[in-house]
Amino acid sequence: MRSFFQRQGKFRPRSSEEATGDSAIPEDMWVKCPKCGELIYSKELDHNDRVFPKCSHQFRLNARERIALLADDGSFEEWDSGIQPEDPLQFVDPKGAYADKLVSTQQKTGETESLITGSSRIDGRPSVMVVTEFAFMGASMGSVWGEKLARAVERATREGLPVLTVNASGGARMHEGLFSLMQMAKTVAAFDRLGRARLPHFSLLIDPCFGGVTASYATVADVILAEPGALIGFAGQRVIEQVTKQKLPADFQTAEFLLDHGMIDLIVERALLRATIATLIDHHVAPSRPSFSANGHEAGDLLAGTDDIARAVNAEPVRHSAS
C-alpha cells in the first residue's frame, strides 16, 4: 500500500493537524469517523488517502496533501507564491481588522493565501494544478485567488497545458467586498481564453464548495468531477432553510444529488482520481494518438500503469454514473 503522507523534503505534505496549528497532537492517535462513529488509527487513515475504509467517509485533505495525492512525486512547482493579499476596504468586524486576520491566518496555515497554483505532472502528463486551502479563511475567493488563477490559466494557455482546479470554497471573501465578487468575472474570463485555445479545464469539486466559486469557473469546466459525499451548492443550507421554511431533502447538495440533477459529469473515489484525470487529459490533449497512456498502455485502460492502482482495483468500484 502506498502512502502519500510519509514523503520527506520540500513537498512533504503537512498533516491537517499541523496545518491548523495543533502540532502537539501525536501522530498515532485514534480518529473518530463522523459518519459511522468508529475509530481508526490516524496513520492507517493517512495510508488510505484519508478515506475511512469501512464507510468510505472522505476526510478533508489540506492543499499540500491534495497536491501530494494528485501530482507525481516532487513534480509540483508552485507559481506566484509571492502574491500577497491587501486590505483595500480597511475592513473591520467585531473580531478585529481584516489586515490582522490575514497575518494570523498566514501564521496558522503556513500559506500566504487560500489558493495554490503551479505546474505538475499527473501520471506523467504535464498540467497546471490549482488547489484551494480550506483552512485559510474557509477558502474564500479574494483578489489574490483571482490574480493567481488568472496568471496560471494565462500561462497554461500560452504553454498549451491542461488545467486541473480542485475547488473547495466558502464563497467570495466578504472582507474584500466587491473586489472579491469581481474575481468571479476575472477567473471566468481567463478560462474563456483557455477554452478558445481548445485546452481543457477539469474541475474537481470537493467538500465543501459554495457561493462564488460554484457560480463561476468551477461549474463551467469542460469536465466536472466531484468526490463522493462532497457538499456542493450555490446558497448555504442554513440560508435556504431560513428563506424557504422548507425541510431540505436528505441528500440535498451532495455530489450524488448534483449528479442526479445533471450538474456534474462524474463522482470519483479518491483512490481513482489521479488515473481518471490522467485519462481525461489524454482524451483532450492528445486524442488522436492510438495508444495515449504515458506508460504505453492501451487507450481507455483506466486502471493501468499507476502504482496506486493495485489498491484501487481492490477497493469498491468507481462510481462513474448514477446508480
The answer to whether 176 contacts another protein (rule: CB under 8 A) is: yes
Concatenated DSSP letters of 88-132? TT--EETTEEHHHHHHHHHHHHS-SSSEEEEEEEETTEEEEEEEE
Angle at 314 (CA atoms; ends 309, 318), nearest 5 degrees: 75
Residues 247-306 binding another protein (CB under 8 A) are 248-249, 252-253, 257, 261-263
Interface residue with another protein, options 78, 108, 179, 297 (CB under 8 A): 179
Residues 135-174 binding another protein (CB under 8 A) are 143-144, 146-147, 150, 172-174
Q: Measured between alpha carbons, how far is 298 from 189 in angstroms, rounded to an integer?
A: 36
Reading the block at residue 215, the C-alpha cell is 457560480
Binding pattern to another protein, positions 31-70, x when CB under 8 A?
A: ----------------------------------------
CA atoms within 13 A on the CB side of 230: 29
Interface residue with another protein, options 39, 55, 239, 322 (CB under 8 A): 239
Reading the block at residue 171, the C-alpha cell is 464563497
CB of 152 to another protein, least distance (A): 13
Which of residues 253 and 306 has its CB atom nearest to another protein in the complex? 253
The answer to whether 240 contacts another protein (rule: CB under 8 A) is: yes
CB of 303 to another protein, least distance (A): 31
The answer to whether 188 contacts another protein (rule: CB under 8 A) is: yes
Binding pattern to another protein, positions 69-108, x when CB under 8 A?
A: -----------x-xxxxxxxxxxxxxx-------------
Total residues contacting another protein by CB under 8 A comes to: 66
Supply the DSSP symbol for 171: E
Closest CA to 251 of 268, 232, 226: 232
CB of 144 to another protein, least distance (A): 5
Q: Measured between alpha carbons, how far is 36 from 229 in angstroms, rounded to an integer?
A: 14
Reading the block at residue 103, the C-alpha cell is 497575518
The answer to whether 317 contacts another protein (rule: CB under 8 A) is: no
Reading the block at residue 25, the C-alpha cell is 497532537
The answer to whether 192 contacts another protein (rule: CB under 8 A) is: yes
Supply the DSSP symbol for 217: G
CA dihedral (207, 315, 7, 166) in degrees, to 10, reads -30
Query: Contact positions toward another protein, by CB under 8 A?
Result: 80, 82-95, 143-144, 146-147, 150, 172-174, 176-186, 188-193, 196, 211-212, 214-220, 233-235, 239-240, 243-244, 246, 248-249, 252-253, 257, 261-263
